């Protein structure tokens, strides 16, 4: 039923083309060999292999693929595990077609869609768990810090460009520089690391 609902919701999105589906983690890994999708919508809880394990193995073999977790779970533990496995974003199954489509297109643009209501708890947990020994100096430019604070608030590239008076490609360049300096692969990791090293605070969320 969930896969049927996903197909129905994505059927009217011209930017996306449905190429196949799998009923388990192991089946998904086998299907990647022939389907080679650019984007994978993956459940957190699956038979045989759970979402984080599947995501980690899939990205090890196909590092250019984007994975978005799609689940009923609002557990910050599940979100953390999926993002740590390399997922680009996290979408709850109670969203409508427009929200799901928007999240998937954001992931394709290398943004990190995450339910806004889940972000504070997740980032607080990241910040609280950071040992003092990891708090080292990271030098960001003033513009990079502005972009980072916008990312922490969940702003899209388009919104950041508008707010900062920049072209979208310039924002993407700043994001790549931020990711490199913070050793992050996505926006969620960048924000969590920035919290750990003291570049931003919970007040910036």
Per-residue pLDDT of the chain (205 residues; tens, 9 = 90+): 456 767 776 766 778 888 888 889 999 999 999 999 999 999 888 878 899 999 999 999 998 899 998 888 777 778 878 887 888 888 888 887 888 888 888 888 877 777 766 766 666 665 555 544 344 578 899 999 999 999 888 788 889 999 999 999 999 999 999 999 998 877 877 887 887 777 887 667 6
Picking from 14, 74, 77, 8, the residue whose alpha carbon sits closest to that of residue 41 is 8
Which two three-digit tokens encode residue 88?
A: 């680009």
Q: Say what the pLDDT of residue 27 is.
A: 92
Beta bridge partners, 70, equal 91
Helix (H, G, I), strand (E, B) or coil at 67: strand
Q: Say what the pLDDT of residue 1 is.
A: 45
Q: Say what the pLDDT of residue 123 is.
A: 63
**pTM exceeds 0.95 for this model:** no
Residues contacting residue 54 through CB under 8 Å, at least 6 positions apart: 25, 26, 28, 29, 42, 46
H-type alpha helices, the chain: 2-10, 25-35, 51-61, 76-84, 97-108, 119-129, 142-152, 157-164, 168-182, 187-196
């Amino acid at each position: 039923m969930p896969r049927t609902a996903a197909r129905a919701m994505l059927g009217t999105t011209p930017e996306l083309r449905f190429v196949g589906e799998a009923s388990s983690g192991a089946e998904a890994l086998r299907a990647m060999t022939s389907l080679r999708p650019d984007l994978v919508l993956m459940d957190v809880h699956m038979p045989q292999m759970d979402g984080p394990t599947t995501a980690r193995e899939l990205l090890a073999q196909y590092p250019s693929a984007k994975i978005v977790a799609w689940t009923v779970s609002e557990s910050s533990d599940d979100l953390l595990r999926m993002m740590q496995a390399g997922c680009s974003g996290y979408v709850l199954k109670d969203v409508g077609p427009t929200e799901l489509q928007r999240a998937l297109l954001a992931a394709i643009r290398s943004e990190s869609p995450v339910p806004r209501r889940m972000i504070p708890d997740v980032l607080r947990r990241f910040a609280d768990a950071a040992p003092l020994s990891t708090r080292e100096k990271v030098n960001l430019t003033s513009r990079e810090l502005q972009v980072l604070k916008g990312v922490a608030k969940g702003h899209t590239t388009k919104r950041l460009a508008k707010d900062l008076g920049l072209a979208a490609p310039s924002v993407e360049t700043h994001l790549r520089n931020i990711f490199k300096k913070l050793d992050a692969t996505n926006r969620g990791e960048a924000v969590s690391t920035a919290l750990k090293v003291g570049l931003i605070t919970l007040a910036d969320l």
